[in-house]
Amino acid sequence: MKKIIILIPVFNDWESLEKLIVEINENIKELKKIHIECLVINDASTIKQSKLLKPTFIKSIQILNMRENKGHARCNAFGIRYVIKNKDFDYLILMDGDGEDRPIELKKLINKILEDPNKSVVAIRIKRSEGLFFRFLYSMHKLITLVFTGKKINFGNYSCLIKEDVRKLSTQASLWSSYSGSVKKNLEYFNEIDSERGTRYFGPSKMSFLKLLIHSFSIIAVFKFQVFFRSLIFIIIFSSLDFSLGTNFNFLSILIVIFNILILIVSFREKQTELLNSQENLESTKEITH
């Protein structure tokens, strides 16, 4: 029997978590010979936890309570470290707790990894639920990432990792800042499934423009050396075209230099020491058995 752990970071959104647990249970009930547990990372929520009930087909629910709020990406990083050090498992699924990662796609994710059990699987976003402006910004993020890193990164946290890949990622400094960037950089091969971005169960999106900008730069910063090299090439090309571009060359060069400075600053978020010592932020654990 294959054992799968579903890792879910949560900050205050307990109502969404309750609904998510119910929907996970509903969508895994037809999966045979699969043992599924949920591991919830409570990112120092300021709202009291609601009373969760363990449904029939989820074997156990464990809540890890953090002392200090570290943010979504670092909850995932901590969870990956915790699982590899403390859990017996075959596969690890990362899933947002607000409904945007649709539980109905769990079967497709799990079936894909059972078909090819030696490769992790990521959920490629083929359709998003956000507004037009956000989708435009996201498209720009993907384009800039491709131009400056040479990497096409069209997936987020929703994924299913084999144990060996969990072990590989668990020591990477970049994991402390960006999950998807770390996957793209450190995993040579992985499979994909098509996925639609769901809508939040409750309340508006917590992704502000500033958070989206930091998220985008964090992914790009994982490949900062490629960014610096490509930027140098672009500036050399622009310099050779200086006669035809005129003052536009100076403007474009300044923009590229500013962009690189920002990427360098964001790259300081990658802290291996904090990742390796992240268990020190664990305050308590809670098991939900019924």
Domains and CATH numbers, the chain: 2-131+153-203+272-280 (3.90.550.10)
- Per-residue DSSP letter, 174: G
Quick one: average pLDDT of 12-27?
94
Section 67-79 average pLDDT: 95
What's the whole-model pTM score?
0.91
The residue count of the chain comes to 290
User: Mean pLDDT for the chain?
Assistant: 90
Q: Which amino acid is at 127?
A: K
Coil, helix or strand for 98?
Answer: coil
Weakest-pLDDT range from 46-55, 74-83, 236-245, 276-285: 236-245
Are the C-beta atoms of residues 113 and 162 closer than 8 Å to each other? yes
Helix (H) or strand (E) holding 124: strand 120-127
Q: Mind listing the pLDDT tens digit for each residue in 218-245? A: 999 999 999 999 999 988 887 777 655 5
Lookup: tokens for 96: 């947002």
Portion of the chain with pLDDT greater than 90, in percent: 71
Per DSSP, the three-state class of 229 is: helix
pLDDT digits (tens, 9 = 90+) for 206-219: 666 677 788 899 99
Cβ distance 11 to 69 under 8 Å? yes
